[in-house]
Structure 1
């Protein structure tokens, strides 16, 4: 499903396993993982309950730099992020920003097209590998 510039796919795995699988897929593709944030764990430390929710921040300078050379403001949305989260019914989802939304948001030009295509197809493939049974 696509919503407000985000693409969301169902995962067959728990939140933690989904992010583990995504990390493995990213490493296999030569991408760098910059951070893994356990929002539910942080919420618990603050005395608040949150269903399982983890954010992975990742990328590669070869993918993001062309976008920032085109429009430096795109750096606010880079590196790429993926959020695994569990809904009220227990279904786990994996959400990430649509590369085309990034292009529209920042007014990226033709010089960014090759990088956008690589990000778009690469993310779809990696997310599928992480979420599929």
Structure 2
């Protein structure tokens, strides 16, 4: 896993093509009973505007029983919540990227070692590992 803590970005290389990794991610979210609020297919949207780009899809999901605790500690964290995972095609293969909840907490003045942050980090690790096929 690659990290860019200056920007709060976490990255993991996945096994398989974009469609396979995307399906694994959505199936894992369903199995975890994590509500999916929206999905965005950036490539399809670009093509609809007459543009082209590599594959990039975002799933927006969360558990209000968990995320609310972080927003109570730092209301502006709502700008980065619900959580999101990006599945995208890079020159090195398909990647998963997401914002580290500890970085989100710190960005808005909440303690990065809050219990809710640990829960979010654990869930993101589980979801991305399953989606990556690792």
Residue 45, structure 1, aligned to residue 41, structure 2: no
Cα deviations by residue, 1:41-92 (Å, 9 ceiling, x for unpaired): 0001111110011011000101110011111100000000000110135x10
Q: How far apart, in 1, do the equivalents of 2:103 and 2:111 lie? A: 13
Aligned to 1:80: 83
Stretches of 4+ aligned residues off by more than 2 angstroms: none
**Contact 1:16 1:54 survives alignment (8 Å):** no
Q: TM-score by structure 1 length?
A: 0.93
Root-mean-square deviation (CA), in Å?
1.4
Aligned ranges 1:53-68 → 2 under 5 Å: 53-68=56-71
SS at match of 1:75: helix
**Contact 2:43 2:56 survives alignment (8 Å):** yes
Q: TM-score by structure 2 length?
A: 0.92
Aligned to 1:27: 30
Aligned to 2:108: 106
What 5-or-longer segments of structure 1 have no aligned partner? Answer: none
Aligned to 1:7: 10
**Contact 1:53 1:83 survives alignment (8 Å):** yes
- Structure having the higher helix fraction is 1
Paired positions, count: 131
**Contact 1:19 1:56 survives alignment (8 Å):** no
**Contact 2:67 2:82 survives alignment (8 Å):** yes
What 5-or-longer segments of structure 2 have no aligned partner? Answer: none
**Contact 1:82 1:94 survives alignment (8 Å):** yes
Cα deviations by residue, 1:4-30 (Å, 9 ceiling, x for unpaired): 211000010222221221111111112
